[in-house]
Structure 1
Amino acid sequence: MRSYIPNFLTLLNLFSGCVATVFAVLNQLEMAAIFVFIGIFFDFFDGLAARALNVQSEIGVQLDSLADMVTSGVVPGIVMFQLLDMSQASGWSEGQLGGIPWLGADVAPISFFGFIITLASAYRLAKFNVDENQVSSFIGLPTPANTLLILSLPLILLYHHNDALNNIILNQWFLLGLTLVSAYLLNSRIELFALKFGNWSFKDNAVRYLFLVASLVLLITLRFLAIPVIVILYILLSIINKNT
């Protein structure tokens, strides 16, 4: 019976991703972000459960990637699609994030470039499934981390009320550039540490403890603006840790 527990958590991740997809399509990006966060929570704990119960399986690995493809592949692509389409609007107001009356019957062709994130996520997940080296570290940015980066943008728009930030986030060239950077990071050869503790020793896990404490401080002080900063910090600490 216990062998089903990790897979059940993975299916909850998939369910959360499906709900997030619906909200993202409806341009209810705040609700989409909430269900993505819930999905990533289940994604984190399904692996912990599998290791704790010693019930790792090949089907669990495949199911995990399939669930991630929805929660951390399809959803961020749709969100970027919506942001790019929003960048083509004549102006921005907080209410635009809650519905789609401004969209009308037309979709800006440039918006479809947002799905580059979905394609890059699919390619990364396929590589991960056949790569036996990504156990204690990752090669390229994990899809959940990339998804948090993309989903932070509408939350910053909604909750930070900063015109300068709004103008940057809703600039089509910024969004296109971030889309390409995101696709590159997902499939780059950058080695990034995994948040897996073999033991609780500070000496063996210094970079992990430093990252977790710094992330907590950033979240408390910067709120949703902290998420892109945390992703950048994650990459920088990984590079420094690799070279020391």
Structure 2
Amino acid sequence: MRRYIPNFLTLLNLLSGCVATVFAVLNHLELAALFVFIGIFFDFFDGLAARLLNVQSEIGVQLDSLADMVTSGLVPGIVMFQLLQMSETGGWNLGFFGHETEMTILPFFGFIITLASAYRLAKFNLDENQVSSFIGLPTPANSLFILALPLILLYHNSNELNEVILNQWFLMGLTLVSAYLLNSKIKLFALKFDNWSFKDNSVRYLFLIGSLVMLLTLKFLAVPLIVVFYILASLLTTNSKKA
């Protein structure tokens, strides 16, 4: 019975991603973000449960990537689509099967994130070296970054931040940077604890403490900063080990 527990948690991740997709399409981005966060919560604990129960399986690995493709691949692409659409002031009519709709090409640029996520997840499934660390930004971290943007718009109420986030060039640049980071060769540490020793997990503990402080002080603005902090901490750790 216990061997089914991790896969059940993975399916809850997938279900959360499906619900988030519906809300993202309807442009209810706050609710989409909520269900992505819930999905990522299940994504973290399915792997932990598999290790604790010693029931890792190949089907679990494949199922995890399929769930991530929806929660952390499709949803952020739709959210970027919506943000790019919000950033535009006009458009032109495109005809689809005899029906005219005011739609521009630019918002579809956001789905580069979805394509890059799919490519990363396919590579991850074939790579046996990404056990205690990651090569390239994990899709959940990238998804958190993208999903935080509409929450910053909603809750921080800053004209300066709003102008930056809803700038077309910023959003297009962020989409390209996101796609690059997902499939880059940058080595990033994984939040996987083999034991609870501070000596063996000092970077992880310091990252978690720093992230908590930023969340308490900066709220949703902290999320993209935490992702940047994660990348910088990983780069510093990698360089120190090489030295």
Matched, 1:20 2:32: no
Counterparts of 1:48-127 in structure 2, within 5 Å, are: 48-89=48-89, 105-127=101-123
Superposition deviation, residue 143 in structure 1: 0.1
Unaligned runs of 5+ in 1: 91-103
Q: AA paired with 1:220? A: L
Superposition deviation, residue 203 in structure 1: 1.5
SS at match of 1:3: helix
> TM-score normalised to the size of structure 1?
0.93
Q: AA paired with 1:17? A: G
After TM superposition, which residue ranges in structure 1, 4 or more long, deviate above 6 angstroms? none
SS at match of 1:203: coil
Q: AA paired with 2:13? A: N
SS at match of 2:107: helix
- Aligned-partner Cα distance in 2 for 1:86–1:198: 44
Q: Deviations over 1:206-242 (max 9, x none)?
A: 1111100000000000000000110000000000001
SS at match of 1:106: strand
- Aligned-partner Cα distance in 1 for 2:136–2:198: 25
Q: Deviations over 1:52-84 (max 9, x none)?
A: 111100000000000000000000000000000
- Aligned-partner Cα distance in 2 for 1:89–1:169: 15
Q: AA paired with 1:195? A: L
Matched, 1:32 2:13: no
- Aligned-partner Cα distance in 2 for 1:75–1:106: 23
Match in the other structure for 1:211 = 207
Superposition deviation, residue 105 in structure 1: 3.2
- Aligned-partner Cα distance in 1 for 2:202–2:160: 36
Superposition deviation, residue 89 in structure 1: 3.0
Matched, 1:235 2:231: yes
Q: Identity of paired residues, percent?
A: 79
2:181 to 178, 182, 185: 185
